[in-house]
């Protein structure tokens, strides 16, 4: 497997009005936007599953509209994480995972469990939550990602606890949230949030070059690992251009 195929790069969602004048062709039917995006990117992080419940038919439709190798990373429903006591989330977690995710088959990427910025690290309660995350659904292996957003998670006890349960932590470049890097993680999950409106590719060339080098170091070497990279927020209208620019750099570097 090449470094490029180990790196999945995309954006958050595929329905965003400003993309209809700088990413999607004029007049493209909204029903064809997922197909168009999936032919130019290699992954998408689905934000809609955080707010709404979808059924098996929807996941099957997404699967069938996208090319082989495309990946959907799903944000878990907010009922699973937006609670005072995380250890009580078992029913909500089961309900979300049983909603039809397995219909995606090999196109199911990591599940993103996003916590409120006000949610502080409490080891016992957080471990109670991690114990509830199953390793698979319907025979399909699951990969779990934790998006922790309170400074208290920059704690010497946090990463060892997450690793103990096979969970990976989001790495972000946002100045608002902890920038936690785990060099020993089985895969990387990046949420890049500093796109600039005045830059056609969202990120300047030097920044894209630096991210390209970092991703290649991760996906190559003696122990190559997968990387999932999403351009989120910032100047969101630039996110598709940023993702395509990064993918092009990764492809070019692989050919050199």
* pLDDT for the residue numbered 223: 85
Cα 69–Cα 38–Cα 209 angle in degrees, nearest 5: 85
Assigned token pair, 73 = 């990373």
Model confidence at 221: pLDDT above 90: no
- The DSSP H or E segment spanning 216 is helix 205-219
The predicted pLDDT at position 3 comes to 57
pLDDT tier, 190 (very low <50, low <70, confident <90, very high otherwise) = very high
Alpha carbons 12 and 236: distance in angstroms, whole number: 9
Residue in the block written with tokens 């989001």: 170
Which band of pLDDT confidence, cut at 50, 70 and 90, is reported for residue 1?
low
The burial class, CB within 10 Å (0-12 / 13-18 / 19+), for 153 is buried
The vertex-22 CA angle with 16 and 25, nearest 5°, equals: 90
Q: pLDDT per residue over 56-83, tens digit each?
A: 999 999 999 999 999 999 999 999 999 9
pLDDT tens, 139-154?
A: 999 999 999 999 999 9
pLDDT at site 23:
96
Q: What is the CATH number of domain 3-255?
A: 3.20.20.410
Give the DSSP H or E segment for 5.
helix 3-6
């Amino acid at each position: 497997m090449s470094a490029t195929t180990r790196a999945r790069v995309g954006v958050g969602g595929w329905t965003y009005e400003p993309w209809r004048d700088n990413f999607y062709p004029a007049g493209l039917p909204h029903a064809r936007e997922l197909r168009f995006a999936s032919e130019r990117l290699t992954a998408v992080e689905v934000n809609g599953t955080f707010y709404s419940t979808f059924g098996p038919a929807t996941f099957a439709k997404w699967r069938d509209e996208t090319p082989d190798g495309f990946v959907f990373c799903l944000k878990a429903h907010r009922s699973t994480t937006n609670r005072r006591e995380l250890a009580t989330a078992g029913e909500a977690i089961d309900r979300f995972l049983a909603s039809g995710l397995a219909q995606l088959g090999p196109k199911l990427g990591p599940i993103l469990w996003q916590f409120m910025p006000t949610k502080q690290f409490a080891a016992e309660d957080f471990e109670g939550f991690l114990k509830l995350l199953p390793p698979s659904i319907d025979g399909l292996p699951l990969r779990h990602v934790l998006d922790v957003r309170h400074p208290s998670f920059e704690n010497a006890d946090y990463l060892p606890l997450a690793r103990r349960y096979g969970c990976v932590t989001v790495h972000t470049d946002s100045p608002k949230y902890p920038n936690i890097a785990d060099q020993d993680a089985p895969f990387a999950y990046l949420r890049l949030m500093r796109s600039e409106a005045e830059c056609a590719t969202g990120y300047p060339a030097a920044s894209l070059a630096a991210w390209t080098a970092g991703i290649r170091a991760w996906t190559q070497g003696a122990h190559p690992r997968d990387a999932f990279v999403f351009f989120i927020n910032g100047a969101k209208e630039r996110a598709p251009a940023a993702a395509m620019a990064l993918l092009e750099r990764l492809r070019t570097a692989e050919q050199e």
